[in-house]
Amino acid sequence: MKQFWKTLCVALLTVLPELPATCLAQEKKDTNNVLTIEASIVARGELRYGGLPSADGELKDKARFVVERTRVGANYKRKWLEAKVTLQQAGVWGDSNTNSLSIYEAWGKLTANNGLFLSIGRQELSYDDERIIGSDDWVMVADCHDVLKLGYEGHGHKAHFIFAYNQTNANTMGGTTYTTQDGEQPYKSMITGWYHYDLPHTPLGASLLFMNMAMQSPYEENAKTESQQLLGGFVSWQPDRWNIEGAYYRQMGKDEFHTPIEAWMASAKVEFSPTTKWTISTGYDYLSGDPNPVVPKLGELGMARHDKVRGFSTVFGSHHKFYGAMDFFYVDAYYGGYTPGLQNLYANFQYSPIDALKLSAGYHYFATASKISNASRSLGHELELSASYYIIKDVKLSFGYSYMHGTSTLERLHHVAGKNKLNWAWLAISFSPKFPKIKW
């Protein structure tokens, strides 16, 4: 923890002296003020059949529900200063928590002439393809973080440094224990560094990402703080009509239960647009898993102890975007707590006959990364269809349907029923009205 505060102080002493002079100089030159009001309403009805948790292994009735999210925000900006506050209400129609409000964003930002900036408060974090850090907007509530962010952007270089320290309350008698059961954030403290460089005159960009997260066990009084690290990179090459991406990340350190971590993941994607209307893509993801995960048959119990964590954690990634629309992987925990990892081979086709309409068809083949005793690695095949259409420029109607032909391994891993009858359909409408900007 001493290292956390030392790093933060060094970063502040490096950046803060440069901001006042440059900001004050800009303010004398430009006093234009802009206030933007933002609003969005998204309602999505879902119908699921099969694939839901079942204690007795029997296929349950269809699940039907409607989720809705409303956001209203105000963004104030002048040349060197920006501030934003966004209120959010999200929930299921009829649920007792649906009418509760929360602050989704509340931050202020200073930007200097030389590219330095500082922002502080609750804000979205989104980097590269959002595989590791993203807003995960599909889940309605989405992810936000209470952080201090320092950075520089200019001349093809982007460097961001993020610092977070979470606590249950401000009392001085209760110690500094913080777990995921105490608050909204999944870590006690976090230090993240991200660097991106775009090569001049070349459609090639590359990023490096480092994260250090400290957490504590919720089951131990005055638990020792353990830190885990993530280190890796992302590369994107976009020549002409192609988009080729690759990523590799490694996780180290210890989890909150003092277990050493040795996990990794790699991904590759190739996308080609033969015309402005068509896009074809294919790719492969590999996420390491724990050996011999607990996968007892339905109705049976199983116990195992692992000396290392080898299952890769996708941290704050936008999971719905990568590992199948039905969200079987990296959203809900596997039975037994351990993960067998994932292999994801996929292909996707997009067609846009007119600007307002987009059609998509996709395929995933899923398999575990770890070998499972007395079970196949194959998890199944998922087919996905979706469409979106702008009724008018501020109103979009979307539809999706997915079918998964699962295997007995999938059934055992999730303790779900109806492995060959996994259907999911949804219909959504979103309103994003554009309000006139107020300038003075």
DSSP string, 301-351: ------SSB-SPP-TB--GGGTS-TT--SSSSPPTTS----EEEEEEEEEE
Residue 121 within any structural domain of the chain: yes
pLDDT of amino acid 177: 77
pLDDT of amino acid 200: 93
Is the model's pLDDT at 1 over the cut of 60? no
Q: What is the pLDDT of residues 295-305, one digit of tens each?
A: 555 444 455 56
Q: What is the pLDDT of residues 234-293, one digit of tens each?
A: 999 999 999 999 999 999 999 988 999 999 999 999 999 999 999 999 999 999 998 877
pLDDT of amino acid 230: 98
How far is Cα 298 from Cα 413, in angstroms, rounded to an integer?
9
**Residue 254 gets which letter from DSSP?**
B
Residue 10 within any structural domain of the chain: yes
Name the domain count of the chain. 1
Residue 174 within any structural domain of the chain: no
Q: What is the pLDDT of residues 159-218, one digit of tens each?
A: 999 999 998 776 666 567 787 776 678 899 999 999 999 999 999 999 999 999 999 888
Residue 172 within any structural domain of the chain: no
Amino acid (one-letter) located at 76: Y
The dihedral sign for the CA sequence 12, 17, 23, 24: positive
How far is Cα 350 from Cα 111, in angstroms, rounded to an integer?
39
Is the model's pLDDT at 336 over the cut of 90? no
Query: CA angle at residue 281 from 275 to 283, to 5 degrees?
Result: 160
Is residue 310 within 8 Å of residue 250, measured between CB atoms? no
Residue 357, Cα to own-chain centre: how many angstroms?
26
Residue 310 within any structural domain of the chain: yes
Closest-CA residue to 346 (of 265, 279, 284)? 284
Do the strands 34-49 and 438-439 form a parallel or antiparallel pair, or are they unpaired?
A: antiparallel
Amino acid (one-letter) located at 53: P
What range does the domain containing 254 cover?
Answer: 2-167+183-439
Residue 359 within any structural domain of the chain: yes
Is the model's pLDDT at 26 over the cut of 70? no
The two three-digit tokens of residue 66, written as one number? 């409607």
Mean pLDDT of the chain: 87
Residue 394 within any structural domain of the chain: yes
Beta bridge partners of 365: 345, 381
Residue 173 within any structural domain of the chain: no
Q: The CATH number of the domain where 9 resides is what?
A: 2.40.160.100
How far is Cα 412 from Cα 67, in angstroms, rounded to an integer?
29
Kindly give, in sequence order, each residue whose CB lies less than 8 Å from that of residue 237, ignoring residues fewer than 6 positions away: 203, 204, 205, 243, 244, 245
How far is Cα 395 from Cα 389, in angstroms, rounded to an integer?
9
